[in-house]
Amino acid sequence: MRILLIGAAGMIGRKLAVRLAADGAVGGVAITALDLVDVVPPPVPAGLPGRVTVRAADLSAPGTADQLAAARPDLVFHLAAIVSGEAEVDLAKGYRVNLDGTRALLDALMATGTCPRVIFASSLAVFGPPFPARIPDDFAPQPATSYGAQKLMAEILVSDLSRRGLIDGISLRLPTICVRPGAPNRAASGFFSGILREPLAGLPADLPVPETTRHYFASPRAAVGFFLHAATLDTGALGQARALTMPGLSATVGDQIDALRRIAGPSAVALIRRTDDPLVARIVAGWAADFDAARARALGFTVEADMDAILRVHVEDELGGRIVAPASAP
């Protein structure tokens, strides 16, 4: 099996590449080649000696998609995107990368005539208000941001080409991934990770929204599991509805802070600084707080049961099981 992973330098992409290289197979089928692509050179994971290639390329640049598809991948993970806050600020860049780049990739893949499995990283930003308390699977998408609109358009492309038998696609509407390791990015949702990640490392963090703000989460470990499960899923069970809302944990910012207090103590909580960011607050207010995700759960997708479990994943996977917290806040 030849795998193409686009967005391999991103957080989920890196973790997915590591898992693929460690497993050496997907669904019992050996990985013969793992092609890793991003706008910067992705790291090379351990494992699969001689079978991993790394390339720095812009998917939206002319010719790039054709070059990637020429290798005739059997399985494609498409994770490359401009994140929500940046897509809202820079309209042209958001459409060029999130929509035009995706269409170029799909056009190139269907031209091969091989009907590869394509797993597209979509977003719950495809939905917009007004919301019921819990969003069912049949709730109509109506994006409130340009990012959400771009993701929805790409979902429709994936579904239409799958209906025609040109690709075998699945779009995964991901919860906000928390706790994201590494440096903060420009996503409007970034503070949801920051208020946990930084205090766990003994650093201050800004909170731009009220503690009553409710959101929908999954850990990076769960996100990798979503993509691997989708890679082997019997898509016949999906019919023409090729976009799936992934299961997640609905929790408030206050719930996050309570979990941080239980895991790391009050000194970590004291590092959270209340601030105000009108743009972030406006974007987050346009997101739903809870989803039923009944279809995905019935198909075997799983997620953490509580915020404590999500924090423990971060401590285990990123901090070596150890928490760095000051004796008191600065």
Give me the chain's average pLDDT, please: 94
The candidate with the shortest Cα–Cα distance to 174, out of 225, 214, 213, is 225
Q: Which residues contact 287 (CB under 8 A, 6 or more apart)?
A: 124, 125, 127, 144, 215, 216
State both tokens at 141: 């998408």
pLDDT of residue 9: 96
Q: Are 210 and 275 in contact (CB under 8 A)?
A: no
Q: How far apart are the first and last CA of the chain?
A: 53
- Distance between CA atoms of residues 249 and 137, nearest Å: 16
- Distance between CA atoms of residues 100 and 11, nearest Å: 22
State both tokens at 252: 């408030």
Q: Tell me: pLDDT of 186 over 90.
A: no
Q: Tell me: pLDDT of 327 over 50.
A: no
Query: Residue 29, SS3?
Result: strand
pLDDT-based confidence at residue 326 (cuts at 50, 70, 90)? low
Q: Which residues contact 290 (CB under 8 A, 6 or more apart)?
A: 133, 134, 135, 214, 216, 250
Task: For each of the domains in the chain, give its residue range(s) and CATH number, in order of start.
Answer: 2-174+220-245 (3.40.50.720)
Q: What is the pLDDT of residues 120-162, one digit of tens each?
A: 999 998 998 899 999 999 999 999 889 999 999 999 999 999 9
Tell me the residue type at 32. T
Asked about 95 being catalytic, the answer comes back as: no
The residue whose two tokens read 């953490």 is 304
Q: Write out 61-77 in H/E/C secondary structure.
A: CCCHHHHHHCCCCCEEE
- List the catalytic residue out of 147, 227, 291, 301: 147
More confident: 49 or 284: 49
pLDDT of residue 330: 43
Q: What is the mean pLDDT of residues 225-244?
A: 96
- Distance between CA atoms of residues 173 and 138, nearest Å: 14
Q: Tell me the HSE value of 257 on the side-chain side, using a 13 A CA sphere.
A: 21
Q: What is the pLDDT of residues 250-309, one digit of tens each?
A: 999 999 999 999 999 999 999 999 998 888 888 787 778 999 999 999 999 999 999 999
- Distance between CA atoms of residues 190 and 178, nearest Å: 9
Q: Are 74 and 116 in contact (CB under 8 A)?
A: yes
